A and B are shown apart, each in its own frame.
Chain A
Amino acid sequence: MTEAERKAEENYLVFEAGGFPLALRISQVVKVLDKQAAQPGTENLNLAEMLGAKTKKSEFRLELLVKDKIKSAAVDKVEPIKNLRLAIWLDFPGLMRRKHNQIIEGFFFDGSRMISLINLERLE
């Protein structure tokens, strides 16, 4: 099975933060909550800032599994869980790879959007 085929077999949460369409493997997502329903005391992960942008609406809060710890991240939009079988997997360009963008594994191109796959295991 190729890397692209393996990626097509998995399920993802597609969402938006900082104006970017993003995807996370469902295994790294614990819960999707309304902004008001956020649990107090969970460590906050500023996903938009981490990606060099600002959170816009913060309509939702994701509880994410980051290296065996649960962290909470504000996001702008959340789509239903889906596989991205029909999207084309694109490896991250080698020429663009830097230490600071290791968290982005690559992209799913669905014909209209370039969805960045975030791998929280690569978070430093």
Chain B
Amino acid sequence: MSGQTRADNKTEALGQSRWLVFRAGGKKAAIGLEYMVKVLERAELFTVPLSGKEFKGIIYYNDIAVPVLSWEFLNGRKISGKSILILEQNQDLLGVEVDEVSMVEEHRAPKKTSGAGFWVELSKESGLAGLEVERLFETLRKKRAYPEGTGGTDDKENPFGG
């Protein structure tokens, strides 16, 4: 998802960013389009030993073992999906299970939050929340992502919380 157009430049100048909206666990959320690599409609998820509570397993993609995030770690809820979004940040790949991908929307780029969660509010009207991908990757890179029991769920923007 590279290659800038005139429309991209205009979007950035207005402080807008583009988000891929998806549905998972019956709720809508979004991921910044700049992190998207691929939407896999079908991919076999393999459970592997000692993957930790942050990951559900791995998938085979382009000769790489890509870890798939556990929604339970992200939101405290067990969610499975038919499709997998492949995200990339600083050369690390990560899969996120979703039910379906809907459309790309433009929203004002949200400010970075200082809370423990991974979600930012994109639209008050629709209640759409966006995943803070950089924060998520940074957390996963740490030796232990979160102390036992917290799991990053104390996030008021979390669309899956409750």
- Using a CB–CB distance below 8 Å, which chain A residues touch chain B? 18, 20, 22, 51-53, 88, 90-96, 98-101, 103-104, 106-107, 109, 113-114, 116
Tell me the dominant secondary structure on chain A's binding face: mixed
Is B119 part of the binding interface, using a Cβ–Cβ cutoff of 8 Å? no
B66 contacts A93, C-beta separation under 8 Å: yes
Q: Give bound CA distance, A91 to B62, whole Å.
A: 12
Chain A nearest Cβ from B51, distance in angstroms: 6
Q: Give bound CA distance, A41 to B54, whole Å.
A: 39
Tell me the dominant secondary structure on chain B's binding face: mixed
- Using a CB–CB distance below 8 Å, which chain B residues touch chain A? 46-52, 54-55, 58, 60, 63-67, 92-94, 137, 140-141, 143-144
Q: Give bound CA distance, A95 to B92, whole Å.
A: 7
Q: Give bound CA distance, A109 to B57, whole Å.
A: 14
Minimum CB distance partner of B94 in chain A: A95
A51 contacts B50, C-beta separation under 8 Å: yes
Chain A nearest Cβ from B34, distance in angstroms: 18
- 14 A-B pairs whose Cβ atoms sit less than 8 Å apart in the complex: A18-B49, A20-B47, A51-B50, A52-B49, A88-B63, A90-B63, A91-B65, A95-B67, A95-B92, A96-B51, A100-B52, A101-B52, A104-B48, A109-B65
Q: Which residues of chain A are near B58, meaning CB under 8 Å? A: 90, 93, 96, 107, 114
